[in-house]
Structure 1
Amino acid sequence: MLGVERQNYIIQLLEEKKFLRLNELVGQLRASEATIRRDLNTLERKGRLLRIHGGARLISSVVHEKGMLEKKTLHLKEKQKIAKLASQYLEDGQKIYLDAGTTVEALIPYLKERKNIEIITNGYSHLFHLLGKGIPTYVIAGKVKEKTQSLVGARAVLSLRDFYFDTAFLGANSMNEEGFMTPDPEEAIVKEAVVKRANKSYVLADSSKWEQELGIVFAKRGDVMLITEEDEK
């Protein structure tokens, strides 16, 4: 099969299944893993798909996602419990990454208790709260996603190369025994890059996120620590 034929077939498969793992593509196309990787890289450069941890997804296949204003009204007590539990992992002198999202936002009041910290974030909605507390803050570059008030995409990933984190706090739209997920590929690649650049990463997610509509896995269970309101004693 010629390269162009293989690549067209990959797109056809993705249009049917939305997401495919690398080993699935190798089996379907009966080609080497190296060949499939080259095809995926070519298709990504052409803007046809997005490479995700373990496979690929069509760029256009984004699941419906609630906006920030709607999320702010959901599970408020649970978010407060989670933030309190997460605060025990804050230490003086840390470089801390804060993911966009309302559960992570609930952690911000606890930051004022720590000295000599620096915050790096892709959540521009966090700025008002952080600057109001006088906390040194950096915002990464990226494509503006209005719905989640975040900066995402390849530009955001490139921007992250300038940073390393002692601790990262991330949100998730859903989770299961495999790992933690978000429906948007452009957010997934940012979260995945953060986990790779952090000494320790924590996912803050309430129990309603279990077995929700599946998305793109940005971290496996062993890569991060989950903090949920069910941990409260």
Structure 2
Amino acid sequence: MSGFFWYDYLIFFIVLAISSGTGIYYGCFGSKQKTVKEYLLGGKKMTPLPIAISVAVSHFSAITIMGVPTEVYKFGAYFVYTMISFVLLGITSISVFFPVFFKLQVTSIYEYLEKRFDNKTKVLVSFFFIVSEVSNMAIGTYAPSLALSAVTGFRLYYIIICVFGTCIFYTTIGGLKTVVWTDIFQIGIILLSLLMICVIGLNTTG
């Protein structure tokens, strides 16, 4: 297996630098995150399109990009039927849940659970969510880090620390606005990469 070339390293570090730079901009310059409303909700001034793209991007990860093609290749395209559930989920959320959350002006579903039930319910559901997300993030970070380790020769732990550290850094200082705009930037890189892979694959097979 051939390793990274200099331009591969350049692109990798540019992606990390732009993501970190976005966090620094919104955290230290621009419209600084001075209040909880600005930090967690972007001041409620962001337009629908970037928010929609960010929400859509948050539903897939490196596991999706690396795992789904393998799944379809081995077992067929029945995986496409899972999209039906996502459509139904979207319609239900938009028509049933979001109007309630918007009317109550809650920051998250956990704040709603506290209002609707009690603090114990909020803590319990939050705990289960944290356990689930820690597991998902661990696997979602391990898979691409393993691939990067294979082609770069760097130790797996160094790559994981680098990627995790960058994400924690720009999210912590930049708030929601940084997360949204880095999501848009990163999905652009992902789609461009997938397009290039398709072009190279078709050219290779003739």
TM-score, normalised with respect to structure 1: 0.24
Question: Which structure is larger by alpha-carbon Rg, 1 or 2?
Answer: 2
Bigger relative CO (Cα 8 Å, ≥ 6 apart) = 2
TM-score, normalised with respect to structure 2: 0.26
| More strand, by proportion | 1
